[in-house]
Amino acid sequence: MLVLNQKQIKKLIPLRKIKEVIDWVERAFYDYENKNIQMPPKTYLYFNEYNGDLRIMPAFSPKLKMAGTKIVNVHPQNHKKGLSTVGAVIVLNDIENGLPLVLLDGIYLTGLRTGAAGAVATKCLARKEARTLGVVGAGQQAIYQIAAITKVRNIKEIFVFDIHREAVKKLAEILNKEKIKIKNAALEEAVKQDILVTTTPSRKPFIKKEWILPGTHINAIGADAVRKEEIDPQILKRGKIVIDDWAQASHAGEINVPLKKGIIQKKDIYASLGEIVAKKKLGRKNAQEITIFDSTGLAIQDLYAASLVYWKAKRKGIGKQISLS
């Protein structure tokens, strides 16, 4: 079995080359919509007394001839211990004999593939003339969302808000290395942009409906577990909702709380992102629409991104071979 650590994966796909992952994630949504993938719903284990959870995410692609499983944990309080709040590993298996082919660090890959999904949604739903990007939450995911979205739209200004102002400063230092400039913004200023990305762990809506301007596209990234939500449900009522997957989004996405409260219903969901990628439904229809992508993160994204890394590593001879026997 090949083992690839985060440093090696970054060498194979540096952040500046995230467009490669965007292309593969777009293929993943296309194949999933066309029934060329097996993907059971994400399974959660909740460690309530430790304020954390573990998520198991399997998928199989006959086209790739590859199966994969990601095990990811989310422990928001880890930062107090100097640890990452999100940890992950991905295993790819040979479908002919079931044996593991590669074990990959999943933290960087999760960032890449989530950013890539945001970019695919932006490509499908944001106005082509969108030039400004607002980001709420300056954590790790903000890095990938910004890097990816700037690959699919000609963004001129980026406004970032975080309740921890030092986080914005740190984000700016990271993105400066990628020649991407951001501005430290107030919350309302960050929201009132052509494209809005929310990447917080909030369990209470804080994006106000009156801040959302006609024509805005929203990537709602932060809500990925039960009871999480970031945006006023009335924004969902006003906008065109696009989800990554019904089973996951209804359980743990931005729509999960409004659905349970009866504010919205399944009929209010316009489409899945796969339907739009596969051109079974139109994306944006006019410049005034408010569009919302509810991203929960799918195992197919991990499978396709990890497969890309694996094949690159094999070609370049990167990684360490170990025996499990």
Closest CA to 182 of 163, 201, 200, 162: 162
pLDDT digits (tens, 9 = 90+) for 58-70: 999 999 999 999 9
| C-alpha to C-alpha distance for 212 and 196, rounded to whole angstroms | 9
Q: 84 by DSSP, 3-state: which?
A: coil
Distances (CA, A) of 185 to 137, 148, 165: 11, 20, 9
Note the CATH number of domain 2-109+300-321.
3.30.1780.10
The first and second tokens of residue 49, run together, are 């007394």
pLDDT on residue 225: 77
| C-alpha to C-alpha distance for 169 and 113, rounded to whole angstroms | 24
pLDDT on residue 224: 81
- ∠ at Cα 36 (147, 274), nearest 5°? 45
Predicted model pTM: 0.95
pLDDT on residue 57: 97
Closest CA to 240 of 290, 181, 314: 290
130 alpha carbon, distance to own chain's centre? 20
Catalytic residues: 70
Question: How does the average pLDDT of the chain come out, rounded?
Answer: 96
**Radius of gyration from C-alpha coordinates of the chain:** 19
8 Å CB contact between 219 and 295: yes
**pLDDT reading at 272 higher than 80:** yes
Alpha carbon distance, N-terminus to C-terminus of the chain: 10
- Give ranges for CATH 3.40.50.720 in the chain: 126-297
pLDDT on residue 314: 97
The residue with tokens 């309080």 is: 77
Span 232-247, average pLDDT: 97
- Give ranges for CATH 3.30.1780.10 in the chain: 2-109+300-321
**pLDDT reading at 84 higher than 90:** no
| C-alpha to C-alpha distance for 214 and 192, rounded to whole angstroms | 10
| 126-297 CATH, one of 3.30.1370.60, 3.40.50.720, 3.30.1490.20, 3.30.379.10 | 3.40.50.720
